[in-house]
């Protein structure tokens, strides 16, 4: 479940003085999409998880103002069937940064809590 995973990472971020930000494009995009989905479903997201994503997003934007659009414009393979798509048309695993096409994401069971497909690694598939 991604919330427990993010909570643990955010607690570590707190304990470390909130210095280390997420600058991994895949992870940050996955977290951002996951959080948007959770908020739409009115799932309470802990304040430090929200703060961590917001800080990371702002830091990434300061360094690379167009990073999000550049990132989504790259091509990547679906990790299950190998088909190649623009990243904006692929879905992201919140945990191991795998990418899945629309067909393949439909093969995973849906989380009854978040409504996201559940990846075999324990993460959720978002975006």
User: Rule CB under 5 A: which residues touch Zn ion?
Assistant: 78, 80-81, 93, 95-96, 98, 101, 104, 119, 121, 123
Beta carbon nearer to Zn ion, 63 or 86: 86
By beta-carbon proximity to Zn ion, the closer residue of 59 and 96 is 96
Nearer to Zn ion, 35 or 126 (CB): 126
Distance CA 70, CA 48 (A): 28
Closest distance of CB 80 from Zn ion, Å: 5
Instruction: Tell me how far, at minimum, the Cβ of 63 lies from Zn ion, in Å.
Output: 27
Least gap, CB of 77 to Zn ion (angstroms): 8
- The string of DSSP letters for 52-84 reads HHHHHHHHHHHH-TTHHHHHHTSEEE-TTT--E
In the 8-state DSSP scheme, what is residue 9?
H
Q: Which residues, in sequence order, are CB contacts of 50 under 8 Å at separation 6+?
A: 35
The residue (of 54 and 81) whose beta carbon lies closer to Zn ion is 81
For residue 100, the minimal CB distance to Zn ion (Å) is 6
Q: How many alpha carbons lie under 13 Å from residue 44 in its C-beta half-sphere?
A: 2
């Amino acid at each position: 479940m991604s919330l427990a995973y993010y909570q643990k990472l955010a607690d570590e971020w707190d304990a470390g003085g909130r210095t280390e930000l997420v600058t991994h494009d895949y992870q940050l995009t996955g977290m951002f999409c996951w959080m948007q989905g959770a908020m739409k479903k009115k799932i309470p997201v802990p304040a430090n998880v929200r703060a961590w994503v917001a800080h990371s997003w702002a830091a990434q934007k300061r360094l690379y103002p167009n990073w999000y659009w550049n990132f989504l414009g790259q091509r990547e393979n679906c990790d299950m069937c190998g088909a190649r798509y623009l990243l904006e048309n692929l879905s992201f695993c919140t945990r191991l940064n795998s990418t899945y096409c629309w067909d393949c994401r439909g093969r995973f069971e849906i989380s009854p809590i978040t409504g996201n497909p559940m990846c075999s690694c324990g993460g959720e598939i978002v975006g």
